[in-house]
Amino acid sequence: MKTSRRTLLKNSAAAAATLSLDWRYASAQAETVRIGVIFDHSGPFAAGGSVASSIGTQIAIDLCNERGGVAGKYKVVPVNADSQSKADAAINEVERLINQEKVDIIDGVYSSAHAVPLAAKVEQQKKILWITTAVATAVFKDKNLKYVFRAQIHSDQYGQAFAGFITENAKAKLGVEPTAVKVALIHEDGPYGVGVAAADEEYSKKAGLNIVMREGYSAAAPDLSALVTKLKRAAPDVISHVGYNPDITLFLRQARESGLRFKMLIGAGAGYSQLDKLRATFGKDIDNFCNIDPVPAQLLDPKKLAPGIGELTNIMVERYKAKANATDVPPHCSMGFNQTWILLNSVLPIAKEKYGGFDAESVRKAALDVDIAPGGTIQGYGVKFFPPGTQLSGQNERSTPVVMQNAGEHISVVYPTNIRTQEPVLPLPKSSVYSM
């Protein structure tokens, strides 16, 4: 049968349309989201929580991809980098990710000493820096950042929690008014330590606590015996220690050897959140020490959180234990997972569907749209970023830390009171080698 020219053209047009639709569908299915992921996989920060954060981050990416990817259809491809516990290496790696790997989004960053210069550099290039772990308030304060975001808590909140916990328990547990509690603040001298110690000092003074000493030191110091001697002279009831990993181990060992005594030691995340590593070195010596950090998700009551959050936590916990061959899951795993999950599931779908892509400008706009109520994340807090033009532009205004206490081989929440899972043990029991 002879085919007319009109029929031929009609069929050709239909075939072309079908081919075009098929191509667009295949293209959409094949589209991926490439994200730079940077943590310290080597050097002292690795054991201080950076590796745990990186594992939590990868679990979030894996789980997102298993569910189809961002918005159920765009697979996430991480481009990993090791900042080696060095600021210059972190800067070089981020420049490589942006300029050579051509990524628009950088996720991760453990150290505040890295976050401060990285925030300025990424902001200048108008790319997205999505901070999972670094806490220094100085990263954001008065910088009016537009492309840098942090759902994580910031260091000023450590000071609020420290002073609040001591003030609340001074009379009930120590038998004295807050003004009679002698406090020593010791810290590594980078942005993380300086930021937390400044907040500790500010809020302790507001609470009327008696600050008898504040001393900084290098996290790479080979000897902290002089610091221990000063503490013995000051004789504080409570020590706030802001450190990483090797320096915490060095301090506790030299404090024990020299006979330093106190009623309570309160850490501020980092090395104090790596309970398994501290316990491997000090055993029961660290029992009943406290630590301030975002809560490990597994300690929260899932019934008080949004539907499905408890299931996410269970998956994260099971996978972390399998990947790390660990019995306990540190807070840093929750930080890496939580912040990355927020990016992948609450920000990037809006960036694509509302603003047209995964480019930095679309992601920036989408992040400012995010409005997660308290209870809507695995760490309990909600998410709403301070907008440009505010003092902490880019910081989550709904983030909250907790005070935890080492209870044998596990940890429990002891502050705030409304969500605590254990009555605080204060002062240290007489059985402690550090007890007064």
Give me the residues paired with residue 359 across strands: none
Give residue for tokens 């009943």: 288
Domain boundaries, the chain: 32-153+300-369, 156-293+401-419
Q: What is the pLDDT of residue 421?
A: 82
Give the span between the Cα atoms of 112 and 219, in whole angstroms: 13
Instruction: Tell me which CATH code domain 156-293+401-419 carries.
Output: 3.40.50.2300
Q: How many CB atoms lie within 10 A of CB 182?
A: 18
CA-nearest of 104, 105, 107, 61 to 83 is 107
Give the span between the Cα atoms of 422 and 424, in whole angstroms: 6
Q: What is the pLDDT of residue 324?
A: 94
Burial of 329 (0-12, 13-18, 19+ CB in 10 A): buried
Listing from the earlier edge strand, what are the strands of the sheet with 264-267? 210-217, 182-188, 238-242, 264-267, 290-293, 402-407, 410-415
Residue type, 109: V
Q: What is the pLDDT of residue 26?
A: 39
Q: How many CB atoms lie within 10 A of CB 97?
A: 24
pLDDT tens-place values along the chain, 436 residues long:
444 555 544 555 444 444 444 444 434 445 899 999 999 999 989 988 899 999 999 999 999 999 999 999 999 999 999 999 999 999 999 999 999 999 999 999 999 999 999 999 999 999 999 999 998 899 999 999 999 999 999 989 999 999 999 999 999 999 999 999 999 999 999 888 998 999 999 999 999 999 999 999 999 999 999 999 999 999 999 999 999 888 999 999 999 999 999 999 999 877 787 777 888 888 898 899 999 988 889 988 898 899 999 999 999 999 999 999 988 888 899 999 999 999 999 999 999 999 999 999 999 999 999 999 999 999 999 999 999 999 999 999 999 899 999 887 778 889 988 778 889 999 999 999 999 8
Residue type, 196: V
Give the span between the Cα atoms of 93 and 87, in whole angstroms: 10
Give me the residues paired with residue 373 across strands: none
Count Cα neighbours of 415 within 13 Å in the Cβ-side half-sphere. Answer: 22
What is the homologous superfamily of the domain 32-153+300-369 according to CATH? Response regulator (3.40.50.2300)
pTM reported for the whole predicted model:
0.80
The full length of the chain comes to 436
32-153+300-369 and 156-293+401-419 agree in CATH topology: yes
Would you call the peptide bond into 427 cis, given omega within 30 degrees of 0 as the criterion? yes
- One DSSP character per residue, 134-156 reads ---GGGTTTT--SSEEE-S--TH
CA-nearest of 253, 255, 233, 251 to 243 is 251
- Tell me 429's DSSP state: -
